[in-house]
Structure 1
Amino acid sequence: MRRFSWTVHLAGGKVATMTRLSQRFTAVAALLALLSALTVRPAMAQQFLRDAETEALFEDIAAPLVEAAGMRPGNVEFVLINDDSINAFVAGGQRVYIHSGLIASSDHVGQLQAVIAHELGHVAGGHIIRLQSGASNATAISIASLILGGLAMAAGGGEAGMGAMMLGQQVAMAQFLSFSRTQETSADIAGATYLSKAGLSGRGSLEFFKKLQNQEYRYAIPQDNGYARTHPMSSERISYLTNLYEEDAAWQNPYDADLEARFQRVKAKLIGYLDPPRALRDYPRGQDNEIAHTARAYAYHQGAYPAEAMSEVEALVAANPADPYLLELKGQILLESGKPVEALDPLRRAVELAPDEPLIATTFGHALIATEDESHFAEAKQVLRRAVVQDEYNPFAWYQLGIIYDREGDSARAALASAERFHMLGQHRLALSSARMAMGGIPQGPDWLRAQDIAMVSEHELKKAGEEIR
């Protein structure tokens, strides 16, 4: 499992202190900031995790739900975020963000499918755009009360002015929270509909909300004031969804055994990668099955015990010699243990078995370059060029491809590869300088036009951020 991470900062500003009254507006400014932040469903400033097996699982378990929602499988993206909270969200477009904590806390695939169904309800309902509209209405109320209160205070009615301000903020917040709860209820019902159309039981949905309810009890979150929440109370959701699910024809349907086995392996892999001590506790030596071997292989590898990690992965590959994800794991452990030559055979075989998995191809290309054997560079170039075509977000593949171009003496295309990478990472100034360097050395043609596109986009982003273009 490789980590490609980037940070996006939410726009924000400082409140200018212009008069003595400005200090009294702190609560108002805080409210407006909260309304703005809630409409974004802050996702970013997070580390994104990428893994071929995990992404393939997301696509397969979501496909019937995406179709039930009236969308096309393959057009909806699923992004895994390194965050141990039990959460998932959408932030615009057809992209669903899933926290690693949700995977680690789900007992079976049905619980994950239920959460995906709910989030697809937000996507299909265009809730992010509508949430922004709801926030705008609430903000308008806040600003109006601010102006009226300020006028009253300027006329000498200090207490009346402050009262008007605070009442306005309370009304605005209540309106916004009500709007948000309505959207959550709508997504709950839409998710139930999608599960039913897909022939999937809603048991996982109820189990998930009970998990949330237990978490609320554990952290002493009040259960008696639903009007001060962005989401309906879990007890309310369980109540109305129980009636929907128990009457549905799919209620007694079992979950797909193959998807369940794949889910458990991905869950074990994720726990082993992110929390090795837990993996060794939950999947101790003596558990001789695929799931336990997978968890321990990652845990030992992350803990820098290469011999133990290789022992676990050898057991996995011996039982499933044609599994590309296990061969990828073996190659990755060898590569990251300083044995790139030994990593080539399992990684080459993994690419042969899964030719449409660009993340596996990227690891293979990396291993070919890491051998420092120039006879492997032509193959690495071919593998990596295919990977960047197949995967629209693969900065590490572009980095490796840049190494090949540099070794070949093609500094202009090495600069273009760097421009692609920096562009993906949101490092616009570096992307601009690299794109300009590429344009200076590449003849007119597709590559030159691509460098020009990156330069133009980077300039636009820098100007939008108020930065000087040099």
Structure 2
Amino acid sequence: MRKTPVPLLLVIVLLFGTLLPQATQASDRLRLIRDAEIEGIIRAYATPLFQAAGLSPQGIRLYLVQDRTLNAFVAGGLNMFINTGLLMQAEHPGQVIGVIAHETGHISGGHLATRGTALAQTRGALIATYLLGLGAALATGESGVGAAVLSGGQDIALRGLLQYTRTQESSADQAAVTLLQATGQSPRGLMEFMETLRGQEVLLTDNQDPYLRTHPLTQERIIFLENAVRQSPYADKPPDPELVVMHNRMRAKLVGFLQPLGQVLRAYPEDDVSLPARYARAIAYYRIPDIEKALVEIDGLLGESPEDPYFRELKGQMLLEHGRVAEALPEYQAAANALPNSPQIRQALAKAQIQMNDRDLDRAALDNLAETLRQEPNNPSAWRLAAVAHGRLGDQGMTALALAEGAFARRKYAEARDRAEHALGLLEQHSASWLRAQDVKNEAERQVNRNN
């Protein structure tokens, strides 16, 4: 069966029973996607707000949910989730920033901690399982769909977990306005978003966007935001032009990856020669796949912006997926040179290097994977690649340790214990790697005993 090339956006499917409010059918599940560029854009929107709220930007994890509806929520303490539907429907960055400011208000207000001990324990267990599953499946850095499925058997509706009171909603609105004021941004985007939701109030519950169902909207809230806009010295201040450029690229990228070709071409017809349009079409043609058309579009973009790391990354993926590894390698290398701290790009480069079957490139791949794993130590695919590279270089002890780490990241604790035990017999006693293998073995053994 021929494998069709699939998006750079890594889709991770996590099955949680009836997690989403609309999740009454098997097809309605929480899906996360990963993309280095889009995550960077959201981080650029959010960081000033987090800082203004006295929160550590590095301490808050941002997740993108592949869902066409309007929604955003915080869960499990410092985890913020944003639907792709919200990102694609937002007309300008101010609307997304306003929603992030509101959700930041929930975090800074401690609203998740006010729902009772029993609910907190349930939510904590759910999110812990969720994030463990994410750790076991996320960020392969590979092209394609991550198909890890987590079958935990949870039956708790997200609506119950995330239902805020009207008081909490008003408090989060006030916090959002304060944060936007502190960062010199207009509250108009948040007001526009709420007005969009107000238009859905007449719809039946099942047809409403989930944000409206978990964040109760009242006339008092709308009036508050209208007054906030009137009183704000930044009311008519447009979003930062640089953020507008980023926002338009993000929307185009999401449309290109997540919509059928026909819809992509209706949104970005071939006579549209703007950067976002060509970006969306390059991705859409790649997905068909029509690699030659895709390369024409991406080469045109690179001709204008040869240093753009995300254009380089996309071209590398196109070529790698079509077996043109030697051509893909310099594209990934250029992307990694521009963004050396991107774990996804470094891992994609490592994968291309390993596919070249060259010992020097295997060593270079291990250097890239070390950076990926420094940031994402529970990345099983990175450990798998590391095991391959160590194996080719003849280092059996490190191969065994990498396999143990990967098994532990996948929560295969018995396998992790056994592989770590094997690594202990191969590694130099009391070396750093030997001590790490001992730690993996002990923790895996503890998990095995706990689950028995």
Aligned to 2:320: 335
**Deviations, residues 224-258 of structure 1 (Å, cap 9, x unaligned):** xxxx9653225443222211232122212110010
Equivalent residue in structure 1 for 2:33, among 49, 64, 71: 49
Range with greater deviation from structure 2 (261-270 or 184-193): 184-193
Of 212, 231, 238, the residue aligned with 1:247 is 231
Counterpart residue identity of residue 185, structure 1: S
Moved more, 108-117 or 444-453: 444-453
Summarize the alignment of residues 56-455 of structure 1 with structure 2, pairs less than 5 Å apart: 56-133=40-117, 135=119, 180-219=165-204, 230-233=214-217, 235-277=219-261, 278-392=263-377, 394-443=379-428, 444-455=430-441
**Structure 1 position 370, deviation (Å):** 1.6
CA, structure 1 residues 61+229, in 2 after alignment: closer, same or farther (shift >3 Å)?
closer
Q: What letter matches 1:414 in structure 2?
A: T
Give the C-alpha shift of residue 291 in structure 1: 0.3
Note if contact 1:76-1:96 (Cα within 8 Å) is conserved in structure 2: yes
Segment of structure 1 superposing worse, 405-414 or 333-342: 405-414
**Contact between 2:92 and 2:244, CA under 8 Å: does it hold in 1?**
yes
Amino acid at match of 2:89: S
Q: Does the 8 A contact of 1:131 with 1:180 survive in 2? A: no
TM-score, length of structure 1 as denominator length: 0.76
Identity value in percent: 36
SS at match of 1:90: strand
Alpha-carbon spacing, 1:451–1:284, altered in 2? closer, same or farther (3 Å): farther
2:133 is aligned to none
Contact 2:9–2:257 (CA under 8 A) maintained in structure 1: no
Cα offset, 1:462, TM superposition? 4.5
1:5 corresponding residue in structure 2: 12
Change (3 A) 1:222 1:346: closer
**SS in structure 1 opposite 2:81?**
strand
Aligned to 1:155: none
* Larger RCO (CA under 8 A, 6+ residues apart): 2
Figure out how many residues of one structure are paired with residues of the other and give that number: 395
Contact 1:358 1:391 in 2 (8 A): yes
Q: Secondary structure at the match of 1:79?
A: strand
Larger of the two Rg values belongs to structure: 1
Amino acid at match of 1:280: L
User: Which letter does structure 2 place at the counterpart of 1:183?
Assistant: Q
What amino acid maps onto 2:104 in structure 1? Answer: L
Deviation of 1:383 after TM superposition, in Å, equals 1.9
Q: Which runs of 5+ in 2 are unaligned?
A: 1-7, 22-27, 121-159
Per the alignment, do residues 346 and 84 of structure 1 end up closer, same or farther by CA in structure 2, a change over 3 Å counting? same
Change (3 A) 1:61 1:233: closer
The Cα offsets for residues 70-125 of structure 1, whole Å up to 9 and x where unpaired, read as: 11333322111222221111112322111222212211111111111111111112
- What stretches of structure 1 of length at least 5 have no aligned partner? 11-32, 38-43, 137-174
Query: How far is 1:200 from its partner?
Result: 0.8
Is the partner of 2:301 in helix, strand or coil? helix
Structure 1 residue 336, shift from structure 2 partner: 1.1
